[in-house]
Every structure is written in structure tokens, then in C-alpha cells.
A and B are shown apart, each in its own frame.
Chain A
Amino acid sequence: MRWNRAERLWAAGLLVLAIAAPFFLYPVFLEQALCMALFACAFNLLVGYVGLLSFGHAAFLGSAAYVTAYTVKAWGLPPELGIVAGVAVAALMGLVFGWLAIRRQGIYFAMITLALAQMVYFFAVEAPFTGGEDGIQAVPRGHLFGLFDLDHPLTMYYFVLAVFLFGFAVIVRAIDSPFGQVIKAIRENEPRAISLGYRAEHYKLLVFVLSAALAGLAGSTKALVFQFAALTDVDWTTSGEVVLMTLLGGIGTVLGPVAGAFIVVAMQNYLAQTASWVTVIEGVIFVACVLAFRRGIVGVIAPFVTGRRASADIPAQRPEVDAAPLPPETAKETPPVG
């Protein structure tokens, strides 16, 4: 996809905004939002472009957060190596989970990923090194490459921004590559893609691993931002939250998950007084999005601001499935009662 003039302007404007933001807003809030935005983008890679809805992505975010927190705190690894360790573990888990989960599609895929993530959750509760209910606290941020002191708020912010931009660039590059064309073809019509000689399972697994690794990158960075890793990172409500961010921003749009993440994180930080009200509001947004706003914020706005009508990156419209980028193959698995 070549960017048109309007899109280039928007990209430049957003970048300037991102660089200037810490002078106007609380850096930790921005860092949290960027981590969740990367997490949502990684999730969106799977649901928006392959049509696989994972309900267990918190497993990758949380495991990477635990690994980074543990290796940095207990082994004294520098932050960059801690992040590499976290991402490696997340990618490995993605390989195993993906290998198991892509055997089924649609609803089953969602339930299997959820169940696998619950396994990780209970493991985190029991395992000796995760600190159980307390989590791993007081994780040192350290010096990046031995040079940059991450305890400095602005340094930390620009580091998180760089990590986010790296992950985001990987996703955009993957979507625009020939590889990205193949995965979109698989989403639209898997049997045809297979008949053209593409090994669909292979591609799905690769995207799953990439998505898990990037979710891990977000989790590792988040662990350094908050200086702790805890059970909420692997909890299934976090898996639900990333679905919400992506749905609200626009499934299958490049910037949608980012917008969704910023809105949800802002709501959690500023709008709602207690955790239970956050849950209520999130639930209501979920219902409203599914009923009336399935294309999401960016999915609705993007055609107006970029002048690009129905670009290739907005999922193809199937008349009977109102702008649904989710896979058509779910209809196949409908065993009857009895």
C-alpha cells in the first residue's frame, strides 16, 4: 500500500504529537497507553488480518512481563536483554499455543486460546518465581545499553515510544508485504488460497507467533514502565480488554487498536473511580460496539480523513456480514444438538 498525501500528513502529525506529548500529559499514562496500543496492534494482526479471534492474548503479555521482571531483578540483566528474554518466551509460547489452537477455527479457536491462557494464569499463581498474589515488585529499570538512565521520566517515555514504533513498523511492514497479501487471502477464502499452493496452516502459525512475540514486547516494556509484573497481566479480563480496545478502535484497521487503547487506558485512569465501574463501562462499550459500531472509530473516520475509499486495508465488505472482518469459516463448525 502506498501512502497518499493525506495519510503521510497524518502520520507526520501523529509522530509530532507523540514526541511532544510528555510535556503536556503524565508520562506514565502515555507509556501505559503505548504499551497497551502495541498489545492491541499485535492482537489486531491476528484478528484483523487472519480472522482468528484470540481470547487469551494476556498469556503472552503477562508471561513476557514476568520473564522480564524476573530476569532484570533476580539475574541483574540489563533492560534490553530482559526484554529480549521476555519476547523470546512469548514467541515460544506463541508457537506452542498457535500450533494447538489453529487446529480449530472461529468460536473454538477463541475458547481454546482462552483455556490455554487460563492454564498460564494458574501456573503464575502457583509457580515459585512469580510471587503469587504479590507479583514481582520493585523491578529496577536500569540503564539501556548501559547508556540511558531509564529512571529519568523523559528517557523512559522516548524509549517506550521507540519500542512502540518498532513494533508498529513491524506490523505495518508485515501487512504490506507479499506475506501480508497471502494472509489476507487466507482470511477471505482459505480453500482458494490453499488451492493456489499456499500452506494456510503455516501462514496462520507464523502470524500467531509474530502476534504473540509483539504482545510479549508490549508486556516486557510494561513491566519496566510499572516496575512490576502481576497476576492482572495474565488475567483473562486483560485478554478481554485487548479485544475491547481493538473492537472500539476498528478491527482490521492499522491505527484503530492504537486509538482504542488510548481511549480505554484514559478511561481507566481518569474517568472511572473504581475498578468495578471500569468493568461496567467496558461491558457497555462492548455491547454498544457489537450492536451498532462494528467498524470502530478508525474504521468509520479513516475514509473521510484520508480520502481513501474502501482501501485494501479495510476488510472487504461482505454484504451479509456487515463489515465483519472476522472469518467466514466459523459457519462451518456448527454441529447440531444431539
Chain B
Amino acid sequence: MLAHLPAMPPAPLFFAQLLVGLINGAFYAMLSLGLAVIFGLLNIINFTHGAQYMLGAFCAWFLLTRFGIGYWPALVIAPIAVGIVGVAIERLFLRRIARLDHLYGLLLTFGLALAIEGIFRQEYGSSGLPYSIPPELEGATNLGFMFLPIYRAWVIAISALVCGATWFVIERTRLGATLRAATENPALVRAFGIDVPRLVTLTYGAGAGLAAFAGVLAAPIYQVSPLMGSGIITVVFAVVVIGGMGSILGAIISGFALGLIEGLTKVFYPEASNTVIFVIMVIVLLIKPAGLFGRAS
């Protein structure tokens, strides 16, 4: 087996794959973060997350092709639009089944994801639609050891910023404290006069908006395709199992780390690059079933 491993690849290729890994990791981190936030308060796994990510990208594409609205406004409008859709989903569907076994939430959001993706596939087929990089972020800089496309650097920077901001809001602000309290004991928080159902609705909306934000960021890199969501969501689930769902910081760290590991695998053993995250998940399950950052249950 070892004989098949290639020798150390040339540095530019190595760093290029590392960069791809870091980009993927940024998306894993943003998506698993949203899943963790939603799971914390609603106790459901949001299977629609991938579809919401796809909706974000499509929203940006619509804005550009139908209304000539560019990337920067889309970065604000798409998350708000998809967030509103998320609020509607929570109000119309999820609230009705909140008292049931949480697996029903998984099934319901899975059904929604199927329906949304099916509609877009019917309209736009499965091939990707191009979405160009905004002119301000075109080009690349030479770092000496590699060329760094500016757009990719921007994606890594902004996603790290968004992840950090989300972490800050939840862990360090009064709103976050209320949110965490509502996670621990919703009845008690209601007794303090806080409208917990509204908090739940807004949290779901925010999670959906976060997925849409990631979708807009992804549009120029992966193209806009109805299948882009379901392609990434299963990997994000594995990331969430590895990180342990209870932890915001865990979701961010394992997202970026697993993206990097995936990139490294592409360099050294490309055949395994699609499975490496699942293999890691198996190993983590064997050693620490609650996930790396999860609490034992």
C-alpha cells in the first residue's frame, strides 16, 4: 500500500489543494454551525439546510440575471429572503410537530428538501449555472509559494468572520445567553417573560439565512446548481457527528479542520478524498461516541 503513495508533490500543487480544502472547510464550518444553532433550540436536524444553501445561491443568480443586482447586495438580500422562507417553514410546519419525536422533524425537513430540490431540478436541470466573481475580487496575488485567487481569500476571511461573529453572539451577548437558557429550560425562560416561540422561529430563520449566505459565497466557486445542496449536506452531517452537535466552537473548528484534511487527502491519496471524512467519523465514533466536542450523554 505504501508503495502506491506518491512522493511529496510539488509545492504549488500542495498549497493549491490545501486552499481548496480550506475553502470546503469554510463551507462545512458555516453549514454545520447553522445546523448546530438550529439543533440547539429546536432539537431537530435540519435536512432542508442543503436546500436553503442552494436557495441562497439561486437567489443571487436570480437577482443578477433578472434584476441586474450584483454580488454585494445579493450577499445581504439572499440571506434575508431565505431567512423569511425559513421563518415561514418554522411557523407553518415545524411548530406543529415540535411536541413529537424529533425524528419527525428530520423526516419533515427531508421531505421539504426533496420538494424544493425537485422543483429547481425541473426548472433548471442538474447542470450548473455560471455566476461570475464580482470585479472587485477578480485576479490573484502571488504569495511567493503559490498564487492565491483573491475571491478565495475573501471567502475564507468572511466565513471565518461570520463564524466568529455567530460564536460571539451566542456565547458572549445577552441575546445569546437567553438563547442558551431557552435551550436548557424553555419553560423557565418563558416564565421570565421571554417569548420563546418567537425566539425559536427567529433562530430557525437565522440558521436558514446563514446557509443562504454560504450559498451566495459558494455561487462563483461551485456554480449554481439544484444539486449543490444535497451534495454537501451529507458531508456536513458527518462533520456534525464528528464535532458533536452541542458545541458552536466545535462545529466551526471541525468544519475547517475536516476541509483541510480532505484537501490533504486529495494530495496524497486522491481515491480516498471523498470518503476520508466518513472514515474519520467512524474512528471518532469508536473512540468518543459523543463527538470530539460533544458532551457524553
Segment with Cβ contacts to A, from B128-136, B155-163, B282-290:
B282-290
Interface string of A12-24 (1 = CB under 8 A from B): 0000000000000
User: What is the minimal beta-carbon distance from A155 to any residue of chain B, in angstroms?
Assistant: 37
Query: Does A335 contact B111, Cβ atoms closer than 8 Å?
Result: no
Interface string of A316-338 (1 = CB under 8 A from B): 00001110101110111111111
Could you tell me the distance in whole angstroms from the C-beta of A269 to the nearest C-beta in chain B? 17
Q: Which residues of A contact B255 (CB under 8 A)?
A: none
- Chain B positions within 8 Å of A334 at CB level: 43
Q: B241 to A283, Cβ gap below 8 A? A: no
- CB closest residue in chain B, given A318: B101
In angstroms, how far is the closest chain A Cβ from the Cβ of B296? 9
| Residue of B39, B114, B122 with most partner-chain A CB within 10 A | B114
Question: Which residues of chain A are near B110, meaning CB under 8 Å?
Answer: 240, 243, 286
Q: Which of A281, A287, A337 contacts B180 (CB 8 A)?
A: A337
Closest to B43 in A: A334
- Find chain B residues with CB under 8 A from A237 CB: 114
Closest to B251 in A: A337
Q: Are B278 and A277 in contact (CB under 8 A)?
A: no
Known: A100-B282, A110-B103, A332-B297. A115 touches B180 (CB 8 A): no
Chain B residues within 8 Å of A333, by CB? 297
Stretch at the interface among A118-126, A197-205, A206-214, A301-309: A118-126
Instruction: Knowing A106-B103, A330-B101, A335-B245, say if A111 contacts B240 (CB, 8 Å).
Output: yes
A279, B104: Cβ atoms under 8 Å? no
Contacts of B183 in A (CB 8 A): 336-338
Docked Cα-Cα span, A54 to B43, in Å, equals 18
> A278: CB under 8 A from chain B?
yes
Residue of B nearest to A105 (CB): B297
Interface of A is mostly: helix
**Interface presence of B70 (CB below 8 A):** no
* B-contact bits for A42-74, CB 8 A (1 contact / 0 none): 000000000001010000000000000000000
Separation of A17 and B122 alpha carbons in the complex (Å): 37
Q: Are A280 and B246 in contact (CB under 8 A)?
A: no
- Whether the Cβ atoms of A284 and B101 lie closer than 8 Å is no
Which residues of B80-138 have CB atoms within 8 Å of chain A's CB atoms? 93, 96-97, 99-104, 106-108, 110-119, 121-122
Q: How far is the CB of A154 from chain B (nearest CB, A)?
A: 36
1/0 per residue, CB under 8 A from A, across B231-245: the answer is 000110110110011
Looking across the interface, which residue of chain A has its beta carbon closest to that of B177?
A338
A104 within 8 A of B: yes
Interface membership of B37, Cβ < 8 A:
yes
A338 to B111, CA, bound (A): 29
Partner of A283, one of B103, B118, B275: B118
Say yes or no: A125-B241 contact (C-beta < 8 A), given A287-B93, A326-B104: no
Contact B274 A126 (CB under 8 A): yes
B279 at the A interface (CB under 8 A): yes
Asked whether A283 lies within 8 Å of B278 as measured between CB atoms, the reply is no
Decide if B36 is an interface residue (CB 8 Å cutoff): yes
Say whether A115 contacts B238, CB under 8 Å: yes
B234 touches A107 (CB 8 A): no
Q: Are A114 and B234 in contact (CB under 8 A)?
A: yes
What is the CB-to-nearest-CB distance from A79 to chain B, in angstroms, rounded to a whole number? Answer: 31
CB pair A286 B108 closer than 8 Å? yes
Residues of chain A within 8 A (CB-CB) of B118 are 276-283
Q: Across the interface, do B271 and A337 meet the contact criterion of CB distance under 8 Å?
A: no
Contact A107/B106 with A115-B238, A337-B179 known, Cβ cut-off 8 Å: yes
Q: Is the C-beta of B225 less than 8 angstroms from some C-beta in chain A? A: no
Q: Is B201 an interface residue (CB 8 A)?
A: no
A335–chain B nearest beta-carbon distance, Å: 3
Known contacts A118-B238, A291-B96; is A338 also within 8 Å of B274 by CB? no
**How many Å lie between the Cα of A282 and that of B107 in the bound state?**
12
Known: A126-B274, A335-B297. A290 touches B116 (CB 8 A): no
Chain A residues with CB below 8 A from B238, complex form: 111, 115, 118
Closest to A292 in B: B96
Residues of chain B with a CB closer than 8 A to A327's CB: 101
Is the Cβ of B102 less than 8 Å from the Cβ of A107? yes
Could you tell me the distance between the alpha carbons of A172 and B103 in the complex, rounded to whole angstroms?
Answer: 25
Contact A112 B241 (CB under 8 A): yes
Verify B271–A283 contact, CB threshold 8 A: no
Answer yes or no: A4 CB below 8 A from chain B CBs: no
In the complex, chain A residues whose CB is within 8 Å of the CB of B37 = 337
Known: A335-B246, A335-B297. A115 touches B96 (CB 8 A): no
Chain A residue numbers with a CB within 8 Å of B106 are 53, 55, 107, 110
In the complex, whether A195 has a CB less than 8 A from a CB of chain B is no
Of the A-B pairs whose beta carbons lie under 8 Å apart in the complex, a sample of 10, sorted by A's number, is A115-B237, A125-B274, A243-B110, A285-B111, A287-B112, A287-B115, A289-B111, A291-B97, A320-B99, A330-B101
B residues near A (Cβ < 8 Å) are 36-37, 39-41, 43-45, 93, 96-97, 99-104, 106-108, 110-119, 121-122, 170-171, 179-180, 183-184, 230, 234-235, 237-238, 240-241, 244-248, 271, 274-275, 278-279, 281-282, 285-286, 289, 294-295, 297
Given contacts A118-B278, A290-B111, 8 further A-B contacts (CB under 8 A): A107-B106, A111-B240, A126-B271, A237-B114, A275-B121, A277-B122, A279-B117, A326-B103
CB-based closest 10 A-B pairs: A286-B111, A335-B246, A283-B115, A337-B40, A283-B114, A279-B118, A280-B118, A119-B278, A276-B121, A122-B274
